[in-house]
Structure 1
Amino acid sequence: MYSIKRIPVEAIKGRGAATRMPHRFERDERHSFDDGWENLDEEDGAARPATEVIWEDARSLITTNDSPDIHFDRSINPYRGCEHGCIYCYARPTHSYLNLSPGLDFETKIIAKRNAVEILRKELARKAYEPRFIAIGTATDCYQPVERELRITRGIIEVMHETNHPFALVTKSSGVERDLDLIAPMAAQGLAAVYVTITTLDADLARKLEPRAAAPHRRLRILRTLAEHGVPCGVSLAPQIPFLTDDMEQVLEAAWDAGAREAFYHVLRLPWEVAPLFRQWLQLHYPQRADRIMHRVQDMRGGKDYDSDFATRMKGSGPWADLIGQRFRKTAQRLGFNQKKADFPTVEFRRPSIGGQTSLF
């Protein structure tokens, strides 16, 4: 009888998921096991997969949505998958549509839209296009590590800068500081804002939750740098996880001191394969608290791991969700967050040139 070889915690350093969990469309599930003929420990490299960039020629770049619980209706995501490896990422199940695992594949096989700048120019140049605020990096981080070399996000912001098109982005990475030469002048015109996600100030917890993202103290420094350059900035406290990310008040206070003036939060979302992945992660890192945490998560979801209802999917429902909401509102109000919202004007928008030809209209 063969026993399944489980990947030890130390063999997944730097990765959020412990396995290439099969996606929901797969008919077969495969496991590695030791049959006595070869060594399957972490020294063979199988447990430490390298990041692979897979090029994609996108047919469109600007995505629209009509979700009533989202404050923007247009977004751009330069990448699919994210090397940050955040175990809670609600975008993990999108890799299933590519016949890839929402587990390790999501954080090791990064789909990069190499023609993003070209497609964006074409979309903005259309006569029928009406400019409206665009959110960048809403599904996966637009400044994840591969952006250092690929510079797709920078190319997109260059087009935004050229056309005076308003945008905001959300990130966990210090990579955004590289593009302040473009972002700061736009921010001075009210055309740009940046939101930094800080789930917790606990560095050890953050390293496990978001293994390849910037440390909490570094994200606070990002906020300070943005504020010093006159960029309107905010903090995202998403997701809130009961009995795990319990320092909401401290995060808000530190973010305010660093220069953030807007703040928002969401509670943990576990759609599709994210639920079993998160359970596996809890058993690896916090086995004593695993059941307790999941019970509280289910308390906010009507007894289920997740409920996709627009009315509750972001904030949850029930006493625990209400408590988190009250804590956020009271602290944000006390500190002075969300007193003024950016309006992102579009009157200065000008269509981009295509192939060297500048539009006359």
Structure 2
Amino acid sequence: MNDFSTTPNLDRGRRLAELVEIFVREHVVPFERDPRQGPHGPSDDLVQQMRDMARAERLLTPNVLPDGSHLTHGETALVLRAAGLSPLGPLALNVAAPDEGNMYLLGRVASPAQKDRFLTPLIEGRVRSAFFMTEPAEDNGAGSDPSMMLTTARRDGDFWVIDGRKAFITGADGAGMGIVMARSEQGATMFLVALPDPAIRIERVLDTLDDSMPGGHAIVRIDGLRVPESQILGASGEGFKYAQIRLAPARLTHCMRWLGACIRAQEIATAYAVKRRAFGQLLIEHEGVGFMLAENQIDLKQAELMIDWCAGVLDSGAKGIGESSMTKVAVSEALFRVADRCVQVMGGTGLTGDTIVEKVFREIRAFRVYDGPTEVHKWSLANRIRNNALDRMAR
């Protein structure tokens, strides 16, 4: 971690972002062709090699300052956008999901003892983490509607016993710690667990469209997991409240990272269009191609502005639930258009693994589902619009 604690915020974020961009472009991009990557993400030894390099440059976990405080959301937007210039960048710098969101939540809610045991190794990049909330659709468990949670936690003396199944748990395979959400008598409750644990069994790792996250996305069975009272995160029954503390910023940091990826995809597509010739002229001189790249620039700028606006709302101290929903919808849809056009501009080359454009396209498609699909956020926003209108009419 670089110590920019005394640097004015705007300059601090810009300076950090400049260092991160140089590191990603010069040191991380060459690893994009490393064979230690598979359908379930990069291997842990590849991740650790890149993190050792980031640590040597004092850029590991750059969003967390030496005193344990975080950059502002506005500063984080600059840094994570630079990290996202390569799909491997967030992993190398230790700002990838789900670890980045889990660090944020632990920093806000965990006790000092819990921070020492669970947060410190995460910040130092020594372990990966997982967030166990979503449940299998075939069980009719919690997904976009967390109130449908079936996983239970019952008290047994000084311990809690947890049983249930979880699905789409990113990074569960190989994680060193996890946050498990279960339904107790008091309501939804979060528990901190050290991994691996024999009571948490991976049934299978799913084959998914995206492949950028170590460990992939797993279906997990939890059978008689015993967790001491001291490992409840915060207070029993406050799990949904803590989920909102985590999810609003996490939606935004997803946007930040993938904005960087799409900026890079646009660079690659543009370089292709100004070199490739067809029908007697450069591709970019054909309106059909040039206009797609122009539309990409518009979408990228609008995504950037939405991110900056939402970051400002969160930095003001507001919860930003509605703002993060709007931003997640607008940015994920805009970036998918960008990625799609980049593939189209590059034709057959855009469909291959010769560049990262094809990978960015797949990852952005998955991003439209991460942290709630577009339609769920629109439904939530429509409910807010209705409630606000009814409140005004009742006055």
| TM-score strictly above 0.5 | no
TM-score by length of 1: 0.30
Higher relative contact order by CA 8 Å / sep ≥ 6: 1 or 2?
A: 1
Q: TM-score, normalised by structure 2?
A: 0.28
